Amino acid sequence: MMSSSLLLAACSKPRENVWQGYVEGEYVTISASQSGRLDRLSVARGQQVSVGAALFALESGDETAARQQALRQLQSAEAQLTDIQSGKRPQEISVTQAQLLQAQAMAKKAQVQLARDESQFQVGGIAKQQLDDSRATAETTAAQVRQWQSQLAVDRLPNRDAQIRAQQEQVAASQAALAQAEWRLDQKTVSATRTGLVFDTLYREGEWVAAGNPVVRMLPPENVKIRFFVPEPVLGKLKLNQTVTLYCDGCPADLPASISYIATDAEFTPSIIYSNESRAKLVYMIEAHPSMTDAPKLHPGQPLEVSLP
């Protein structure tokens, strides 16, 4: 019967090509481009979030009002452009036509009165002053007829191209102002652009957050990496994209990882001339990334062992 010490030796992993390492995370800090009071914090430390999940929101009263103002200005500019492009409305043309008819009637009456006064003046029935008054009235009413005829012709014409182009530019400027106001409003609500772990929250609701200050620290799974160190004689066995195996306490199974970086400089240089014995004291940092599925199982700072499969 095999002794317990022999059983332990048989079950233990070989120590050759096994190196000590640890988990490291490259954190992503999430902030807002605008300042404001933190009105809503939608996540907590340790929470896993997906793309599009709401993270936090800042007060947005001023930005909401600015957007409404920009929207009203755009609607006004578009209404003015439509009015300019359509010219005078039929009701307005009808008013001008009525004014013209009234002027024509008055001019006709004035001409009849002038003809009557001229006949009376020939026989000495009226004074010269009365005839002059009749002539002036006839000329005035005739001028009014010509005025309203010209106004009616103008009302029936479309507006000038230059005026339409100027109003189109005003509409474009109002659209740009609205887009800017909407962008500023959108910046007050921040959502996750990547899947990951909420590692920490740096503000509490009600606190003032300056523009650009991080509010949430996240750790996406692709930013989890393994760092370990190998002696100089082993360096030649490793290459980029090579698979290594991770062993850690509490891990359900051995996890694979892919080498993503091999340092070119030694982390430690002995203070003696190189020899076959001293070369083993040189260590080089290696980085490897686990799969996206296995990354959430690892935690920054966690010690582990790395070996070749």
CATH of segment(s) 28-60+188-219: 2.40.50.100
1 pLDDT higher than 90: no
76 pLDDT higher than 50: yes
Who has greater pLDDT, 155 or 180? 180
177 pLDDT higher than 90: yes
Element holding 263 (H helix, E strand): none
87 pLDDT higher than 80: no
Who has greater pLDDT, 134 or 221? 221
pTM: predicted TM-score of the whole model, two decimal places: 0.63
Do 28-60+188-219 and 70-180 show the same overall fold? no
Residue ranges per structural domain of the chain: 16-25+221-307, 28-60+188-219, 70-180
**CATH: 1.20.1250.20, 2.40.30.170, 3.30.70.270, 3.40.800.10. Which one for 16-25+221-307?**
2.40.30.170
Cα–Cα dist 78/170, whole Å: 9
Quickly state the pLDDT bin for 158 (edges 50, 70, 90): low
Q: What share of the chain is helix, strand, coil (3-state, %, to 5)?
A: 45, 25, 30
Q: Quick one: pLDDT at residue 274? A: 46
49 pLDDT higher than 90: yes
Single-letter amino acid, residue 307: S
Quickly state the pLDDT bin for 3 (edges 50, 70, 90): very low
If DSSP codes are grouped into helix, strand and coil, which group holds residue 26?
Answer: coil
Cα–Cα dist 158/155, whole Å: 8
* Mean predicted confidence (pLDDT) in 191-204: 94
Chain center to CA of 280: 54
Who has greater pLDDT, 206 or 126? 206
**CATH: 1.20.1250.20, 1.10.3720.10, 1.10.287.470, 3.40.50.1860. Which one for 70-180?**
1.10.287.470
Using DSSP bridges, classify how beta strands 54-58 and 189-191 pair: parallel, antiparallel or unpaired. antiparallel
